[in-house]
Amino acid sequence: MSSILTNNGAMVALQTLKGINANLAKTQDQISTGKDINNAKDDAAIWAISKVMESDVNSFKAVSKSLSMATGAISTAGAAAETVQELLGEMKAKIVAARDGNFDRATLQTDFKDLKAQIETTVKGSQFNGINLVNGDQFDGASTFKALSALNRAQDGTVTAATIDIDLTNTDLRITGGGVAAMTNLDALDLTSVTDWDATLATIEAAIGASVDAASAFGSANKRIEIQSSFISKLGDSMTSAVGSLVDADMEEASARLQALQTQQQLGIQSLSIANQAPKSLLSLFRG
């Protein structure tokens, strides 16, 4: 049955054309943005997952910066510990020379005192961004230095921070007022008044051992941070790639789909035009 009031063919053609235009708009949006899922309405579940992962990637960048800052503080402290060890070696040489008795002990004592002062200067000046790991009075008395190393997300969404902890109990290398007995024992040492040279050598050896232990601790911590930094970088890249696989558009597929939809759009417009012409053909029935 034909009707001049209801054009079913035109309605079908119009609905088809609307569907084609909607798909065409979505495909054009995918091509212009490069994303298959741009917002929650495209796929709420995948969009939510991708946003959580993106936030984690941003967190990894912050962790990486934190590790870089920790590396600076630890490297500075490690360099200080190594310098202290070298200075203690020179002090040991002064003790050996003074024990020999063929050198002026007063002059050696002056050099010995200057070396002690240089250790104090080195220790006090070994700070990075206000953090000094070899000068206990500048780290608020903390016994542990914590470097943020990761943010761990559990299956229930709970996020916890992980740290690389460095024990500072034996890294205070001050001779005056320090926390390591082997170092503070040097404070009262005077080469002009020594009566037990073996005990004096034992004292300097203990101090050298303390500086070596501190340098080793910082070196080990630096290695851990280096490994963690590399891991965090790789993890960030991996998650960025995973987010891309979830939300990025397949550009080859989108391009082919765009051409197909453009063809369908042209055919839909022609179909609608033909359907709109149908009522006009009824006029021929009323011509005499």
Whether residue 189 lies inside any domain: the answer is yes
Whether residue 2 lies inside any domain: the answer is no
Between these two residues, 7 and 141, which has the higher pLDDT value? Answer: 7
| Same domain, yes or no: 162 and 278 | no
For residue 245, give the amino acid letter: S
For 203-237, what is each residue's pLDDT tens digit? 999 999 999 999 999 999 999 999 999 999 998 88
Strand partners, 162: 150
| Same domain, yes or no: 97 and 239 | yes
| Same domain, yes or no: 90 and 215 | yes
CATH code (residue 214): 1.20.1330.10
| Same domain, yes or no: 240 and 267 | no
For 125-153, what is each residue's pLDDT tens digit? 999 988 899 987 555 556 888 888 888 88
Whether residue 39 lies inside any domain: the answer is no
Whether residue 1 lies inside any domain: the answer is no
Query: Which of 70, 180, 87 shows the shortest CA–CA distance to 131?
Result: 70
Domains held by the chain: number: 2
Which domain range does residue 168 map to? 53-247
| Same domain, yes or no: 134 and 275 | no
pLDDT band at 18 (very low <50, low <70, confident <90, very high): confident
| Same domain, yes or no: 89 and 187 | yes
| Same domain, yes or no: 203 and 257 | no
| Same domain, yes or no: 130 and 256 | no
Residues in Cβ contact with 281 at an 8 Å cutoff, skipping those fewer than 6 apart: none
pTM: 0.75
CB contact at 8 A, 4 and 279: yes
Alpha-carbon gap, residue 135 to 242, rounded angstroms: 45
